[in-house]
């Protein structure tokens, strides 16, 4: 079977990648706007809403994505790649747009979180079905010597989807006040509404594409699978390859992907406490600079094989995660900043009293003053010191005793330009590891399974690897942090251990040979 010519393959890659990028965008904006969504749909103090919120977070990623891989994988192997991933796009775009239209909890009560949960589950289902279809579709159009390169365009979409989501949210947010953004019908809804335009364009383009040539040939010959699930997971010869794909490649890739793209962002925001916009700026630069390397490593995998590039990405993560995250913490130590910058008197740092709590102790009244001190140091460094100072008033006319907060916390840190670029480099390095582990994986998975059950066989391990192993990074990190409170980097042992295990299994069991003939 001849592969598609140069111009044709360009259209195939563009239409597949655009749709997949939009699906990732749709999936990410929900996570990125989680705080606002929580306020609008899952108010604190309501147990049912809290339960629905937890389900929306955990069920969509862990349960529904692998389920979507099975449902749509089966469909894709039975009725074709094109119609199936078109369907996933419609489901994803439609549910995203509808989330943006649901009135808040204050307007329609418990129906609001219920609808959001339902639509979030549809999103998870659709995402589970999209990737396998797009990767298979592109690979089945590609010549053997460019399969890794062409499918690496699909691999860029997960990162570019994050890039677009970040960019759209930042653009909307920077053009309005916080109150206008977070209001019930405020700016946070715009990214959801924008989705319908993107999806409309993508559906139009995809409708014009033809079915994969390999699948068309298979269908003409009457060789399509009648039961892809049974053939994928019920036959030992194929099932053992599904297990190998999961434990020898995708499991490690999933944690590397999640740690580089999401855990780093969350760590910089919640642990290091970098200011919201600067944190996103760092991530945007890191992603923007590293994304072309998906194509570099995809193309390289056509020359030297897939295995060692993927495993090198995992190895680099295992070696460098702790030093990188440790640098994030050390370089933003406020006490060191203050020591280095003794040039400015304290008076220039404006103090803002937020509230004063009066606590009746039975004897003398106790006042707790919550205040913010806005520090501005040399080199553009800024941060906010959040204090809670206690004042004990003497009842007998004696002077008040002030107990200063000895452990204030520091938030909204703005880094100097030099330090910002250092952090951009470190984030870039972590996303570079992602590009190594992730770029060749579509071609690797496609080559592992036969055409008639390819969509089903590759989708399930992919979504278990990324959705379950990757998606568990923040949960296990919180779990480890609760058990080992003295090590702020303890959460990293989970991705390090999973990537390390996958590295060992991959090195021992995987073949580096490129399967030249996927027409089977």
Partner 1 sequence: MNQLKRISGVLWMILAPVVIYLLVMGAVHNIDSTGTKDINKPIPWIIIITVFTPIAIGLMIFGFYSLKGEYDKLPESSDDL
Query: Using CB under 8 A, which residues numbered 160 to 219 contact partner 1?
Result: none
Name which position in 34, 63, 118, 366 contacts partner 1 (CB under 8 A).
63
Name which position in 2, 237, 342, 347 contacts partner 1 (CB under 8 A).
237
CB of 416 to partner 1, least distance (A): 33
Name which position in 361, 482, 485, 486 contacts partner 1 (CB under 8 A).
482
CB of 457 to partner 1, least distance (A): 9
Record the tokens describing residue 185, joined without a space: 């019908």
Name which position in 62, 131, 258, 321 contacts partner 1 (CB under 8 A).
62
Q: Is 223 in the site for partner 1 (CB under 8 A)?
A: no
- Three-class SS of residue 101? coil
Question: How many residues interact with partner 1 (rule CB under 8 A)?
Answer: 40
Name which position in 21, 32, 57, 381 contacts partner 1 (CB under 8 A).
57
Q: Is 18 in the site for partner 1 (CB under 8 A)?
A: no
> Do residues 257 and 437 make contact, with C-beta atoms less than 8 angstroms apart?
yes
Record the tokens describing residue 449, joined without a space: 């399974």
CB of 227 to partner 1, least distance (A): 15
Choices 26-34, 312-320, 361-369, 507-515 (CB under 8 A): range interacting with partner 1: 507-515
CB of 156 to partner 1, least distance (A): 28
Which candidate, 139, 233, 142, 137, places its Cα nearest to that of 441? 139
Choices 252-260, 262-270, 406-414, 446-454 (CB under 8 A): range interacting with partner 1: 446-454
What span, in angstroms and rounded, lies between the C-alpha atoms of 81 and 216?
A: 10
Query: Using CB under 8 A, which residues numbered 450 to 479 contact partner 1?
Result: 450-451, 464, 468, 472, 475, 478-479
Nearer to partner 1, 51 or 207 (CB): 51
CB of 512 to partner 1, least distance (A): 11
Phi-psi region of 273 (alpha: psi -120 to 50; beta: other; left: phi over 0): left
Nearer to partner 1, 154 or 241 (CB): 241
Name which position in 35, 106, 240, 403 contacts partner 1 (CB under 8 A).
240
What span, in angstroms and rounded, lies between the C-alpha atoms of 274 and 279?
A: 6
C-alpha distances in Å from residue 87, one per residue of 7, 19, 23, 125: 25, 11, 12, 11
CB of 218 to partner 1, least distance (A): 12
Q: Is 262 in the site for partner 1 (CB under 8 A)?
A: no
Phi-psi region of 412 (alpha: psi -120 to 50; beta: other; left: phi over 0): left
Helices (H) and strands (E) in the chain, counts: 24, 5
Residues 6+ apart with CB under 8 A from 33: 169, 188, 191
CA 72 to centroid of chain Cα atoms: 22
Nearer to partner 1, 100 or 305 (CB): 305
Q: Is 493 in the site for partner 1 (CB under 8 A)?
A: no
> Do residues 371 and 387 make contact, with C-beta atoms less than 8 angstroms apart?
yes
CA 174 to centroid of chain Cα atoms: 22
Which H/E stretch holds residue 386? strand 382-392
DSSP state of 222: T
Record the tokens describing residue 212, joined without a space: 């994969």
Choices 51-59, 68-76, 218-226, 303-311 (CB under 8 A): range interacting with partner 1: 51-59
Nearer to partner 1, 81 or 173 (CB): 81
Nearer to partner 1, 62 or 97 (CB): 62
Q: Which residue has the tokens 């003794």?
A: 342
CB of 244 to partner 1, least distance (A): 7
DSSP state of 357: E
Q: Which residue has the tokens 């995203």?
A: 96
Interface residue list for partner 1 (CB under 8 A): 51, 54-55, 57-59, 62-63, 66, 235-241, 243-244, 246-247, 449-451, 464, 468, 472, 475, 478-479, 482, 504-505, 508-509, 511, 513, 515, 517-518, 520
């Amino acid at each position: 079977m001849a592969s598609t010519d140069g111009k044709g393959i360009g259209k195939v890659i563009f239409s597949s990648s655009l749709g997949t990028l939009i699906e990732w965008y749709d999936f990410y904006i929900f996570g990125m706007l989680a705080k606002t969504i929580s306020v609008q749909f899952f108010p604190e103090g309501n147990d049912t809403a809290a339960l629905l919120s937890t389900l929306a977070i955990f069920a969509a990623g862990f349960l529904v994505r692998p389920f979507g891989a099975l449902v749509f994988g089966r469909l894709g192997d039975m009725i074709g790649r094109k119609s199936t991933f078109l369907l996933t796009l419609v489901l994803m775009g439609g549910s995203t747009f509808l989330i943006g239209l649901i009135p808040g909890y204050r307007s329609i009560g418990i129906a609001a979180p219920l609808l959001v949960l339902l639509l979030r589950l549809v999103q998870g289902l659709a995402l589970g079905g999209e990737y396998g279809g797009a990767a298979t579709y592109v690979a089945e159009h590609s010549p053997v010597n460019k399969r890794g390169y062409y499918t690496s365009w699909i691999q860029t979409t997960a990162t570019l989807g994050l890039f677009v989501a970040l960019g759209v949210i930042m653009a909307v947010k920077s053009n309005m006040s916080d109150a206008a953004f977070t209001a019930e019908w405020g700016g946070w809804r715009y990214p959801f509404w924008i989705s319908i335009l993107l999806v409309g364009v993508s559906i139009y383009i995809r409708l014009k594409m033809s079915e994969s040539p390999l699948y068309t040939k298979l269908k003409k010959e009457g060789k399509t699978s009648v039961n892809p699930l049974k053939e994928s997971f019920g036959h030992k010869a194929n099932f053992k390859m599904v297990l190998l794909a999961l434990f020898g490649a995708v499991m490690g890739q999933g944690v590397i992907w999640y740690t580089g793209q999401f855990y780093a962002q969350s760590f910089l925001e919640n642990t290091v406490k970098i200011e919201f916009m600067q944190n996103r700026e760092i991530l945007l630069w890191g992603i923007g600079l590293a994304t072309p390397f998906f194509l570099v490593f995809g193309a390289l995998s056509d020359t030297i094989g897939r295995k060692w590039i993927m495993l090198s990405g995992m190895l680099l993560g295992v070696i460098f995660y702790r030093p990188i995250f440790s640098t994030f913490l050390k370089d933003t130590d406020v006490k060191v900043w203050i020591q280095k910058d003794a040039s400015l008197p304290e008076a220039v740092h404006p103090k803002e009293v937020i509230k004063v709590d009066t606590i009746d102790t039975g004897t003398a009244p106790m006042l707790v003053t919550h205040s913010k001190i806005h520090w501005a140091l040399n080199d553009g460094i800024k941060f906010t010191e959040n204090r809670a100072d206690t004042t004990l008033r003497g009842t007998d006319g004696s002077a008040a005793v002030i107990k200063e907060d000895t452990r204030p916390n520091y938030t909204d840190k703005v880094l100097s330009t030099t330090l910002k670029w250092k952090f951009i480099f470190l984030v870039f390095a972590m996303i570079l590891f992602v590009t190594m582990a992730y770029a060749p994986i579509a071609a690797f998975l496609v080559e592992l399974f036969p055409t008639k059950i390819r969509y089903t066989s590759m989708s399930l391990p992919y979504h278990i690897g990324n959705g379950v192993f990757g998606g568990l990074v923040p949960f296990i990190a919180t779990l480890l942090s609760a058990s080992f409170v003295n090590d702020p980097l303890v959460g990293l042992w989970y991705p390090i251990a999973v990537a390390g295990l996958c590295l060992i299994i991959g090195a021992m069991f995987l073949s580096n040979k490129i399967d030249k003939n996927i027409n089977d």
